[in-house]
């Protein structure tokens, strides 16, 4: 993928970032903290989840995070993680009016921008669920299971329709 690999074929380390406001939720969901166990193997996975949720829930893109390149948390993405496909897919689905052109090489920066917007938006949503809802005891697993069940129901509904 162009996001991770230079045209000459060399691996390119892409830097992703998320708002420090969502550090807590990131800790809960990723292996950064062992407090609730492992849900996702690494930050890119959480970012994919958050972006997917944001897209499904129709959340607006998160506003740009100032000084993001230096501040906030960073994670490393690798071709091998497979997350680049999801990233591309999420952005492809989101930018339907652009058709499949978003996948073109020239759109890489745009793609990254949209993805980060969606991901941070999703993190915001999860953060709210976890820390700002009335039920403060809600565990991250419950959030995930609830979301999963809802998605499952929708999936099954779609399946029946088709």
Partner 1 sequence: MKFKKINLTNFRSYYGDENIYEFSSDNEKKVTIFFATNGGGKTSILMGLLYCLFGNDAIGLDRQGNCADGEPAKHKDATDKDNMYVELHFSHDSKSYMASRGVMSNSEAQFYIKAIDEDGNLGKREENPDGFINSILPKELKDWFFYFAENSKNSMSNANTINDLINLSGDSKTFKNALRKIQGFTKIDRLIQDLSEIEKQKRIDIDKASKNIEISKIAHNLEEHGKKLDELVKRKNIVDSDKKDKDDGLKNIIEQLKDQPKVKEMAVEREKAIKLRKADQNTLKTLEEELQSYQADMLPKFTLYNVLSKSSRPEDKKEQETIILPYPQDGQTYEKLMKKRICICGRPIEKGSKAEIEIEKLNTDQVDPANKYNDRVSQILGHIQDIKNQCQNYPKTLNERNAAIEELNKKIEENKKNETKLTSQIKQAGKAESTINKLNKLYEEVISQRDALLNSRGSLINQIDLINKEISQLENVREKVIGEKQITDKSSSLVKKLAKILDYTKRKLANDEKKAHTLITMEINKALKKYAYSNVQATIDPETYKVTLMESGIDVPQRKAKSGGEDELLKYFFIASVIGLANKKQQHSLKYLAPPTSCPLVIDAPFTGMGKDFIKGTIDVMTEQVEQIIFIGLVDDFDNHFEDAIKNYIGKAYIIQKADKSKRSSSKEKPSKQTVFGKEYDFVLYGNNDENGKPVSQSKIIGIS
Beta carbons within 8 Å of 108's beta carbon, 6+ residues apart:
2, 3
> Considering only 14-22, 37-45, 63-71, 72-80, which stretch makes contact with partner 1 by CB under 8 A?
37-45
Binder of partner 1 out of 134, 136, 159, 160 (CB under 8 A): 159
Q: How many residues in the shown chain lie near partner 1 by CB under 8 A?
A: 41
What contacts 24+ positions apart, CB below 8 Å, involve 7-15? 11/78, 11/79, 13/76, 13/77, 14/77, 14/112, 15/69, 15/74, 15/75, 15/76
Q: Does 64 bind partner 1 (CB under 8 A)?
A: no
Binder of partner 1 out of 58, 109, 134, 136 (CB under 8 A): 58
Q: Does 90 bind partner 1 (CB under 8 A)?
A: yes
d(CA 86, CA 119): 12
Q: Does 111 bind partner 1 (CB under 8 A)?
A: no
Q: Does 138 bind partner 1 (CB under 8 A)?
A: no
d(CA 104, CA 126): 31
d(CA 31, CA 42): 6
Q: Is 19 or 45 the residue whose CB approaches partner 1 more closely?
A: 45
Binder of partner 1 out of 61, 65, 68, 144 (CB under 8 A): 144
In the three-class reduction of DSSP (H, G, I as helix; E, B as strand; rest coil), residue 139 is classed as: coil
Residue that has been written with the tokens 């929708």 in this structure: 154
**Which residues contribute to the site for partner 1 (CB under 8 A)?**
1-2, 29, 37-41, 45, 48-49, 52-53, 55-58, 85-86, 88-90, 92-93, 96, 100, 103-105, 141, 144-145, 147-148, 151-152, 154-155, 158-159, 162
């Amino acid at each position: 993928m162009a996001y991770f690999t230079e045209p000459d074929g060399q691996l390119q380390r892409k830097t992703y970032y998320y708002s420090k406001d969502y550090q807590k939720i990131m800790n809960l969901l990723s292996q950064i903290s062992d407090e609730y166990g492992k849900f996702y193997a690494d930050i890119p996975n959480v970012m994919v989840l958050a972006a997917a949720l944001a897209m499904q829930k129709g959340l607006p893109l998160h506003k740009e995070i100032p000084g993001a390149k230096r501040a906030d948390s960073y994670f490393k993405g690798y071709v091998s993680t497979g997350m680049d496909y999801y990233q591309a897919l999420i952005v492809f689905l989101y930018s339907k009016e652009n058709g499949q052109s978003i996948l073109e090489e020239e759109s890489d920066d745009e793609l990254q921008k949209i993805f980060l917007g969606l991901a941070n938006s999703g993190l915001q949503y999860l953060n709210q669920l976890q820390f700002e809802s009335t039920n403060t005891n809600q565990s991250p697993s419950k959030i995930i299971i609830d979301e999963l069940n809802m998605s499952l129901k929708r999936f099954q509904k779609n399946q029946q329709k088709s």
